[in-house]
Each structure stands twice: as C-alpha cells, then as structure tokens.
Structure 1
Amino acid sequence: MKDSILETLKKLNFTEYEAKAYLTLLGESPLTGYAVAKNSGVPRSKIYEVLESLAIRGDILVSHGTTQRYTPVPAKELIKNRRRETEVNFEQAEKSLAEFERSAHDRENIWNITGDNEILDKVKDCIASAEKRILLEIWKEEFKALEPELQRAAERGVHVIIIAYGEIISDFAEVYIHYMGDEITEEYGGRWIVISADDSEVVAGIVSLGEDSRAAWTRHVGLVMPITEVIIHDLYLMEIMKGHRDLLEGSFGKNLVNLRHKFSIHPDFKKHYLK
C-alpha cells in the first residue's frame, strides 16, 4: 500500500525522498527534522534539504520556534493545489504553443490588406508589438493618424526613426525630412507607407487610394530583410545629402533629378504604378 502511494506521489512531481518525508508527516506531525529522517528512512544528511524543498513548494508547513517542527498540508489540499497548478500549466502551454504555431505560420506567409484604414490598423499593431526599433517611411497625412501609437512606443523605450515626406515635427522620434518629398509626391501620384518593426515584420503599400489602397504585411524574412534594408539605405542617403548636398547636386542636378531620370522607364519621367 505504502509503495503504491509513493509511486503516486512521484507522479505528482515528488522525489522519492520528498514522498517518504511527506508520508511520514501525514502519519504523524508535527515532527522535528531528526524525527522525520528517523521515521522515513531519508538520510539525515539529506533531510533538511528535502524538507526545505517541500516547504518552498507549499507541501508542508514549518513552525519557527526554538526547534523547527514540520506539519504536512492535508492530502485533500495537496491534491487541490496540484490540480490547480496543472490547469495553469496546461493553459500556459496551450497559449504558448498556439502563439508559436501562429508565429511560425506568419513567418511563411504574405498577407494582403485592402483599404487605407485597414492598412493603418495593421501598422498600429506593428507599432504596438515593437520592442526595440521602428523604421517608418510616411507622409504627414498618415503620421497624424499614427502619432499617438508612435509616441506610446517611444515612451516604452522603442527607438522611432521616421523618413518624412512633408513637414513632420516630433519630440519623441528621430525625423529625417526627405529632401525631395514634393517631387516624389508629384512623380508617383500617390502616397505609400513602409514600416519595419524590430527588423522582424513589415507593412508596405499604397495608402492614398481610400478603400482601394493596397498593402502587404509579413514576417517572411525574404521580404522583411530587403524592405528593412531599403529604409536603412534611404537613411544613408539622407545623411549623405545632409553632409554633401552641394557636391551631389553639382554632379546629379537639383534633388538628384538626373539620377531619377536615368532610372525611369517612362518618357515623362513619372511613375505609373497607379493606373
């Protein structure tokens, strides 16, 4: 009978010595550590380590008098506690595994988002989940809608870096005003938004077409890496233009217009993504 109870306790995460000590106290208590060792067969060299482990876990109680004595938690309460702990562990495991499965699924997919409000909502999700850095290319119109979320991110320690098309003033973000924002708006005939959060997820798309706006959201590294690096290279260009604008414009024209024309495929030198 006793052997079967010992095996049952082991299944409840007791070691053999812990099970013997607990059963001994369940049969007679309170007892000193010496008495528990003597009655249970647990070596005296191990008994206080075993009793401390049981006390930390809440399986026994300790009276702190001149001589410490030990009392077991009643068997019914022990089982109740173990059942509650098991349920909590199952809930945590279910949640963690579901999140991991969803994350793994997301890393292999590219999701289409339709509608300007829906795109901005997804960008807000990215901002809310960021922990280290946000890289954002944005027009001033969309910035107004995202400013509260961006400020909250900055307040929790996220480094917010913005390439702004149009005048954006912020006391919580590092803002680079694009040197040719007006020209880009004219050439492209629309506004886009690109965000990279923690170099792990991106949203990129057109946001100036109302309900017909289109964007993609993904954690797929095949897109996250190049899109993030494009933003970073735009930042390189901002820094280079700030330090050497006169030299560069001397070689490539005002706002580097000669470069823009060189790599255009249309005779009017405008972009025709939006047809």
Structure 2
Amino acid sequence: MLQNFGFTQYESQVYEVMSASDHALDAATVVKFSHVPKSKVYEVLQRLVEKGLILTSFHEKKKLYTALPIEMTIKKLTAEFEDHIEQLRNHKSEIPDADERVWTLKNNHSIHVLMENLIEKSAREILLTGWNDELAPFVDLLERKQAEGIHVELLSVGSIHTGELTPHILVPDEKHGGLERHKLLIIDGKEVLFAGMEADQFQGVHTFSKPLVKFFTEFFYHDVALLEITKKHHETLQQDDAITSILMKLRY
C-alpha cells in the first residue's frame, strides 16, 4: 500500500505486516510474514526507521519493531506531501550559466580593447601576465582598480613602472629559448583572454569555459611560483646545468 506514496515494494510489504500486528515483532517474524528475503529485511527495517514509520525497542537482548499507527502515518505523509508542495511552489528553476564556447580574436588593437574592457568591468580579481611594453598601457587602469579594492596580480616579462602595484618581474635571460610574446588575462576567476603570436600577429581566445578558466589560472600561478622560486634560489639553480637547461626551455 505504501508504494503509492513512493516507497519500495519491500518497504510496503514490511509495513503492512507491522501495521497488521498488535504486538512488536522481531526481524525473523517480519521475514516469515512479509516474504521479504532475510538478506534484505534489516536494510528495509532500517530505512523505515529512518523515515519515521517504525519504532524500535529491545526486549531480552532482542531488537523489536512496531509500526506507527495508520492514522499517525497518514498525518505524517500528508504533512510531508504539503511541505513538498510548498517547496515546489517556492522553487525557482534556472538554467545554469555554463557557456563553454571559445571565441577567437585577431588583431592586436582588438585584443587590447577587449582586455581594457574586461579589466574595467572586473569586480573581484585581475590576474594579468605579458611583456612589459604590452602591459604598460594598462598600468593606470590597474592602479585604479586596485584602489577600488580589486585584487590585482601582475607578472611582467621585463621591467615595468607600476606605481602602487607590486608586480612579479621576469628579466629574460639571453639563453631563455622558451619565451614568446603572450598576454593572459583572467577576470574574477570566471573569464579568460589568452593571446599568443602566430605569423607575427597576436591571435587570442576568449572564454567563460570553467575548465579552461581553471587551467589558465593554474597556468598563471605556475608561472608566478616558478619565477619566485627561481629568483630566490638563482645561484643554486645556476650551478646545476641540467636544471638551468630545463628552466631556459620554459615559457614563463
């Protein structure tokens, strides 16, 4: 009978036996009259206990079960049904914002304008890396955003005058073969613009894709961490030709 209320067949069979008995029953008796397999009955009984339809007690070290009276069960199920109706009435469904599209953009001027627009609209955090001459035009805007309480983290390839900002500075080594011009901007942990050189022109990608935003955020902090570690232990690392050779191949 409880199947009409979303309970399983076994739960319904056990409850019917329990409600038909004037006395508390042990599990063996429930198995005998409900025809629920012994291997399943304890699991079913426990589920009914958790749903509040069965009470438990112990007598002479034996666990006994008794059902909630039918009228009380009806009141319980009615109250729960009305709660579910109210929750459904007040629930507002929304399609999750999951824009996984990746947009491509060519032309350095267009990329610059988009970067400026993204920085301007940032509300929480700006992560930016690139070559010093490419970053310099954004310094005043970045300073203003930082003054507004936005967290700004900047990694510059080459020295750059940044006023109140405290950038991470990578001074390129002439042996540093992995360095290529690039720009990476991550806004509020949810939007990313990455641009690299192809055929002597910047080409960029812009996306809200969560996996890509996460990847590029880790990419940014990888560069920052590697830069700071290299600077702190420069002399030690330079004494190891193998490590130096590897470092000179990295993009950071």
Tell me the TM-score range normalised by the shorter chain: 0.5 to 0.7
* Aligned counterpart, 2:237: 248
Q: What is the TM-score when the length of structure 2 is the normalising length?
A: 0.55
The within-5 A match list for 1:82-161 is: 104=97, 107-161=99-153
Deviation string, structure 1 residues 132-171 (Cα, Å, up to 9, x no partner): 2211111111112222321221121112111111111212
**1:241 Cα deviation from its structure 2 partner:** 1.8
* Cα distance in 2, alignment partners of residues 165 and 182 from structure 1: 13
User: Which residue among 201, 205, 209 is the counterpart of 2:195?
Assistant: 205
Measured at CA, do residues 183 and 140 of structure 1 come closer, stay the same or move farther in structure 2, by a change above 3 Å? farther
**1:191 Cα deviation from its structure 2 partner:** 1.4
**1:124 Cα deviation from its structure 2 partner:** 1.1
* Cα distance in 2, alignment partners of residues 238 and 132 from structure 1: 24
**1:192 Cα deviation from its structure 2 partner:** 0.8
Question: Any gaps of 5 or more consecutive residues in structure 1?
Answer: 1-99, 265-270
Measured at CA, do residues 252 and 131 of structure 1 come closer, stay the same or move farther in structure 2, by a change above 3 Å? farther
* Cα distance in 2, alignment partners of residues 172 and 208 from structure 1: 34
The within-5 A match list for 1:153-232 is: 153-180=145-172, 183-184=175-176, 187-188=178-179, 190-206=180-196, 212-232=201-221
RMSD: 2.9
One-letter amino acid of the structure 2 residue matched with residue 136 of structure 1: L
Contact 2:128-2:155 within 8 A present in 1 as well: yes
**1:201 Cα deviation from its structure 2 partner:** 0.9
Contact 1:119-1:207 within 8 A present in 2 as well: no
* Cα distance in 2, alignment partners of residues 157 and 245 from structure 1: 34
* Cα distance in 2, alignment partners of residues 209 and 118 from structure 1: 17
* Cα distance in 2, alignment partners of residues 230 and 148 from structure 1: 25
Deviation string, structure 1 residues 173-197 (Cα, Å, up to 9, x no partner): 221111436555x655x51101111
Question: Any gaps of 5 or more consecutive residues in structure 2?
Answer: 1-93
Q: What is the TM-score when the length of structure 1 is the normalising length?
A: 0.50
* Aligned counterpart, 1:259: 246
Deviation string, structure 1 residues 200-231 (Cα, Å, up to 9, x no partner): 11110126977x42000111011100111011
* Cα distance in 2, alignment partners of residues 114 and 161 from structure 1: 25
* Cα distance in 1, alignment partners of residues 149 and 173 from structure 2: 29
Over the matched positions of the two proteins, sequence identity in percent amounts to 22
SS, match of residue 104 in structure 1: coil
Contact 1:196-1:203 within 8 A present in 2 as well: yes
| Structure with greater helix share of residues | 1
* Cα distance in 1, alignment partners of residues 223 and 207 from structure 2: 21
Residues paired across the two proteins, number: 158
* Aligned counterpart, 2:224: 235
Structure 1 stretches of at least 4 aligned residues deviating more than 6 Å after TM superposition: none
